[in-house]
């Protein structure tokens, strides 16, 4: 028999894995056990560090406010949180006091001592902690999620005592699965409380709201600083900030929450995105259609949207009703709704004529503007809005052709995303679960789900299951893309739908003359153009590849004398459709360089006496590198090539 302290003298070892299970260093093991050290900088070690920091936070809160009731306190990415039920909400100032109290606890070096208890013992000890009691009650049943299992997820119920090393007195305790650091001192100084927020108990809107305090914790202070620097870098890429700085778009308060206007520069980026997409769709056998922004209610009854999503639709405009003097209706009115989806309209286009199997697959594409009354607290920049334009297509096909169509659609989607500069993907397969909200027979769901799975697996991309994530009418594959700083965004979705063809009674005539039901595939590539715009803005940090850049080339004369020469170069570029201009302002040259560098223009062409004499221009790139004395014809050709190839240009071309 031995414990982890005698096995691992290395101070960076904070816990151990015994026969695959995480355990405290204080646990006893025998030489028949397989024991591995868990170091503080490993994923498990970081979780343990952060979880222990959460305990210290809870202890500090109860020191300051003994009436605070404990929720849960798990580790999360980069840190931890702990939920509390308190009479008075925390203020940002409270964090400072709590931070000090935590610091004292950490410097005391309190030991975390694990103790196994029975359910009844735990109930007696935690009689004052109603939320913990609820978790004990849940232990035998099914647990909600991983965060809760941090408290009671183990085979046995355990309480961790925080023991003052000088007096041996237990100063605090918490129901917890563990493991923990050996003592609080090992939390060190690489941590900080970050913010307060409200959170529903056990994640349900129906439950009371608790006060949540978030913190971040790292093995060293330097690593925490590095984390903070990463956050600052991410903030610089924030599309809302860049949208303001680069004059791309805005959300005027007068229009309403979640409704954007695109400024001329943002308009150029957006139109390039759309035009390229349009061209690729044309080449790939899509038919372009258009549909209005509003419709009478019947259409959304047929589609089921009013039954399922009325809450998230703008309320109706009631029109045309007439009444006589007595108030009796003399003319029946109608309710019109702003459309939340394009599919009902496309179904009507499908149904407008009788269809043969020879027409299939029929691919209807539209940049369709939709309006959804998103809950006020969910709106976020361009990524979550109330008015947006989807690059929406609905493909009608036979069951036989379904798989081939899904395969080619997925390929099309991935190819197109790559053309916009995203290249690191994985797939998510969203399926139904036991919930009531899903419509359709088990057989249909099985067939649809299996088909999607086969298609996804054939793509060779990583496939992550998402049980319960399907739409009510069918399963879907979603393409997740990682951006330049490793964040993932849900991009395209491909959904199979056996339900809407049924509801709209869609048919085609098969080769044998019978009437058959087509299968419908919903797919959006960008999701919404607004959202994709935001993703690309953040991915490129506002420095778009040349083909998307609002201004591609700006000419900077060293002195006014060279304006005419530069204007001639810019004219040549404009002839080829290049977005080029000459900066004729009376700023000094250095100031112009600064302005256009901040505006992230890919090419600055600088011309003075030397260049003019040589019939050349001097390139200055976004990172400050230069390529001097390039003959004008070469410069024009290289710029055009960079646009054609969708190349990103940040630094000088290597010759």
Partner RNA sequence: GCCGCUUUAGCUCAGUCGGCAGAGCGUUUCACUCGUAAUGAAAAGGUCGUGGGUUCGAUUCCCACAAGCGGCUCCA
Name the active-site residue from 394, 432, 531, 620.
Answer: 394
Check if 522 is active-site.
yes
Annotate each residue in 313-352 with x if it binds RNA (CB under 7 A) or - if it does not, as one string. x--------------------------xx-----------
Q: Which is nearer to RNA, 272 or 618 (CB)?
A: 618
Q: Which of residues 616-635 bind RNA (CB under 7 A)?
A: 618, 620, 624, 626, 628
Instruction: For the segment 115-134, give every residue that binds RNA (CB under 7 A).
Output: none
Given the residues 83, 94, 392, 611, the one annotated as active site: 392
**The token pair that represents 551 in the structure block:** 């201004």
Strand 249-250, strand 111-117: pairing: unpaired
Kindly report each contact of residues 404-411 with a partner whose C-beta sits within 8 Å and lies 24 or more positions away, as own/partner. 405/361, 405/521, 406/451, 406/452, 406/455, 406/494, 406/496, 406/521, 407/455, 407/458, 409/494, 409/521, 409/523, 410/455, 410/456, 410/459, 410/477, 410/479, 410/494, 411/459
Q: Which of 62, 211, 272, 390 is catalytic?
A: 390
User: Which range in 101-109, 251-259, 446-454, 573-581 contacts RNA by CB under 7 A?
Assistant: 251-259
Task: Quote the tokens at residue 121.
Answer: 């013992």
Tell me the window of 11-19, 86-94, 148-156, 412-420 that interacts with RNA (CB under 7 A).
Answer: 86-94
Measured distance CA(554)–CA(422) in Å, rounded:
27
- Sign of the dihedral defined by the CA atoms of residues 365, 368, 372, 377, in that order: positive
What is the smallest separation between the CB atom of 96 and RNA, expressed in angstroms?
Answer: 14
392 is a catalytic site residue: yes
Distance CA 184, CA 49 (A): 9
* Identified binder of RNA from the candidate list 309, 349, 503, 551, rule CB under 7 A: 309
Instruction: Pick from 20, 327, 377, 511 the residue near RNA by CB under 7 A.
Output: 377
Nearer to RNA, 436 or 512 (CB): 436
Q: In the chain, count of helices (H) and strands (E)?
A: 20, 35
Neighbours of 226 (CB within 10 A): 12
Site pattern 540..559 for RNA (x: CB under 7 A)? ------------------xx
- The Cα diameter of the chain in Å comes to 96
Residue closest to 50 by CA, chosen among 197, 166, 179: 179
State yes or no: residue 138 binds RNA (CB under 7 A).
no
Site string for RNA, 182-221 (x = CB under 7 A): -------------xxxxxx--xxx---x-xx---------
Single out the residue of 395, 290, 303 nearest to residue 341, CA to CA. 303
Annotated catalytic residue, options 339, 346, 372, 386: 372
One of 379, 463, 551, 567 touching RNA (CB under 7 A) = 379
Q: Which of residues 454-493 bind RNA (CB under 7 A)?
A: 471-472, 493
Stretch that binds RNA, among 95-103, 170-178, 309-317, 361-369 (CB under 7 A): 309-317
Task: Pick one of 120, 415, 419, 610: the residue that binds RNA (CB under 7 A).
Answer: 610
Name which of 24 and 148 has its Cβ closer to RNA.
148
> Has 394 been annotated as catalytic?
yes
Beta strand pairing call for 424-431 and 476-482 = antiparallel
CA distance 286 to 263: 30
Measure the CA–CA gap between 111 and 186, rounded to whole angstroms: 10
Least separation in angstroms between CB 226 and RNA = 18
394 is in an annotated binding site: yes
Among 223, 374, 502, 507, which residue sits at the site for RNA (rule: CB under 7 A)?
A: 374
Closest by Cα among 645, 647, 614 to 631: 614
Tokens at 384, concatenated? 């979550």
| Residues 6 or more apart in contact with residue 254 via CB below 8 angstroms | none
Packing angle, helices 563-575 and 632-644, rounded to 10: 40
Judged by CB under 7 A, the chain residues 569 through 588 that form the site for RNA are: 586-588
Comparison of 182 and 258: residue with beta carbon closer to RNA: 258
Q: Which one of the spans 22-30, 151-159, 316-324, 600-608 is the region binding RNA (CB under 7 A)?
A: 600-608
Within positions 265 to 294, which residues make up the interface with RNA, using CB under 7 A?
A: none
Beta bridge partners of 470: none
Site track 53-72 with RNA (rule: CB under 7 A), x = hit: --------------------
**Interaction between residue 606 and RNA (CB under 7 A):** yes
Identify residues 401-460 at the interface with RNA (CB under 7 A): none
Is position 522 annotated in a ligand binding site?
yes
Decide if 67 is catalytic. Answer: no
Of the two residues 111 and 346, which places its CB atom closer to RNA in the complex? 346
* Dist CA 424 CA 350 (whole Å): 36
343 is in an annotated binding site: yes
Query: 397, 375, 476, 376: which is closest to 430 by C-alpha?
Result: 476
Least separation, in Å, of the C-beta of 469 and RNA?
8
User: Least distance from C-beta 209 to RNA, angstroms?
Assistant: 5
Q: Is 92 in the site for RNA (CB under 7 A)?
A: yes
264 binds RNA (CB under 7 A): no
Q: For residues 106 and 177, is the Cβ–Cβ distance under 8 A?
A: no
CA atoms within 13 A on the CB side of 500: 29
Span near RNA by CB under 7 A; candidates 125-133, 256-264, 532-540, 544-552: 256-264
Give the 3-state secondary structure of residue 491: strand
Q: Which of 277, 273, 274, 295 is nearest to 286 (CA)?
A: 277
DSSP 79-123: EEEEEEE-SS---HHHHHHHHHHHHHHHHHT-EEEEEEE-HHHHH
Comparing CB distances to RNA, the nearer of 276 and 373 is 373
Q: Which residues pair with 631 in a beta bridge?
A: 616
Give me the least distance between CB of 623 and RNA, in Å please.
7
**The one among 358, 560, 654, 655 contacting RNA by CB under 7 A:** 560
Query: Using CB under 7 A, which of the segments 15-23, 174-182, 254-262, 405-413 binds RNA?
Result: 254-262
Q: Which of 375, 399, 487, 515 binds RNA (CB under 7 A)?
A: 375
Kindly state the DSSP code that residue 471 receives in the 8-state scheme.
B
What residues between 489 and 528 interact with RNA by CB under 7 A?
493, 495, 522
Should residue 378 be labelled a site residue for RNA when binding is judged by CB under 7 A?
yes
Q: Which stretch binds RNA (CB under 7 A): 248-256, 267-275, 537-545, 643-651?
A: 248-256
Half-sphere exposure of 445 (CA within 13 A, CB side): 19
Which residue lies nearer to RNA by CB, 8 or 191?
Answer: 191
Write down the catalytic residue from 94, 343, 386, 596. Answer: 343
Q: How far apart are CA 85 and CA 75, in angstroms?
A: 19
Cα gap 158→116, rounded to integer Å? 4
Q: Where are the beta strands (DSSP E) in 236-348?
A: 249-250, 261-262, 287-288, 294-296, 317-319, 322-323, 329-331, 334-338
Residue in this structure with the two tokens 């070892």, named with its chain if needed? 13
**Residue 146 among the catalytic residues:** no
Residues in the annotated binding site for Zn(2+) = 343, 394, 522
So which residues are the catalytic ones? 343, 372, 390, 392, 394, 476, 522
Residues in the annotated binding site = 343, 394, 522
């Amino acid at each position: 028999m031995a414990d982890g302290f005698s096995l691992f003298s290395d101070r960076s070892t904070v816990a151990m894995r015994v026969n695959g299970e995480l355990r405290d260093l204080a646990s006893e093991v025998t030489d028949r056990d397989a024991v591995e050290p868990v170091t503080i900088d490993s994923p498990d070690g970081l979780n343990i560090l952060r979880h222990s920091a959460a305990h210290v936070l809870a202890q500090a809160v109860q020191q300051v406010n003994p009436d605070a009731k404990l929720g849960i306190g798990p580790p999360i990415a980069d840190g931890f949180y702990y939920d509390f039920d308190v009479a008075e909400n925390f203020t940002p100032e409270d964090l400072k006091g709590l931070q000090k109290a935590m610091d004292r606890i950490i410097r005391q070096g309190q030991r975390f001592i694990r103790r196994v208890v029975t359910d009844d013992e735990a109930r007696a000890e935690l009689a004052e902690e109603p939320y913990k009691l609820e978790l004990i009650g849940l232990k035998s049943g099914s647990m909600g999620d991983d965060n809760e299992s941090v408290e009671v997820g183990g085979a046995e119920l355990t309480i961790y005592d925080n023991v003052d090393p000088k007096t041996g007195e237990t100063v605090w305790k918490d129901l917890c699965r563990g493991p923990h650091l050996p003592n609080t001192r090992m939390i060190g100084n690489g941590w900080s409380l970050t913010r307060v927020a409200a959170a529903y108990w056990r994640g349900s809107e129906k439950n009371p709201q608790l006060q949540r305090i978030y913190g971040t914790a790292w093995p060293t202070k330097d690593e925490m600083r590095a984390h903070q620097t990463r956050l600052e870098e991410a903030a610089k890429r924030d599309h809302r900030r860049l949208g303001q700085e680069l004059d791309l778009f805005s959300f005027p308060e007068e229009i309403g929450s979640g409704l954007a206007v695109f400024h001329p520069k943002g308009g150029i980026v957006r139109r390039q995105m759309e035009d390229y997409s349009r061209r690729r769709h044309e080449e790939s056998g899509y038919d372009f259609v258009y549909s209005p922004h509003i419709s009478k209610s019947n259409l959304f009854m047929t589609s089921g949207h009013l039954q399922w999503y009325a809450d998230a639709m703008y309320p109706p405009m009631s029109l045309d009703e007439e009444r006589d003097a007595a108030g009796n209706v003399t003319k029946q009115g109608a309710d019109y709704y702003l459309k939340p989806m394009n599919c009902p309209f496309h179904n009507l286009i499908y149904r407008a004529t009788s269809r043969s199997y020879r027409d299939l697959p029929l691919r209807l594409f539209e940049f369709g503007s939709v309006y959804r009354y998103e809950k006020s607290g969910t709106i976020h920049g361009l990524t979550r809005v109330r008015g947006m334009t989807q690059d929406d297509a609905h493909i009608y096909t036979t069951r036989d052709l379904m798989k081939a169509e899904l395969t080619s659609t997925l390929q099309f989607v991935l190819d197109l995303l790559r053309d916009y500069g995203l290249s690191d993907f994985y797939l998510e397969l969203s399926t139904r679960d036991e919930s009531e909200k899903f419509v359709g027979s088990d057989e249909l769901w099985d067939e649809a789900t299996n088909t999607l799975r086969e298609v996804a697996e054939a793509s060779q991309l990583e496939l992550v299951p998402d049980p319960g994530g399907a739409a009510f009418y069918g399963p879907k594959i979603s393409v997740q893309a990682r951006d330049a700083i490793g964040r993932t965004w849900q991009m395209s979705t491909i959904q199979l739908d056996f339900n809407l063809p049924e509801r709209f009674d869609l048919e085609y005539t098969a080769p044998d003359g019978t009437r058959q039901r087509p299968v419908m595939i919903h797919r959006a590539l960008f999701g919404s153009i607004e959202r994709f715009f935001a993703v690309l803005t953040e991915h490129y940090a506002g420095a778009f590849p040349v083909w998307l850049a609002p201004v591609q080339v700006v000419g900077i004369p060293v002195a006014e004398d060279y304006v005419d020469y530069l204007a001639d170069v810019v004219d040549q570029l404009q002839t080829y459709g290049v977005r080029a201009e000459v900066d004729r302002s009376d700023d000094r040259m250095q100031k112009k360089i600064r302005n256009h560098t901040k505006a992230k223009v890919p090419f600055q062409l600088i011309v003075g006496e030397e260049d003019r004499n040589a019939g050349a221009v001097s390139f200055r790139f976004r990172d400050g590198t230069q390529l001097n004395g390039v003959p004008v014809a070469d410069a024009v050709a290289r710029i055009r090539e960079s646009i054609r190839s969708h190349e990103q240009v940040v630094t000088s071309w290597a010759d």
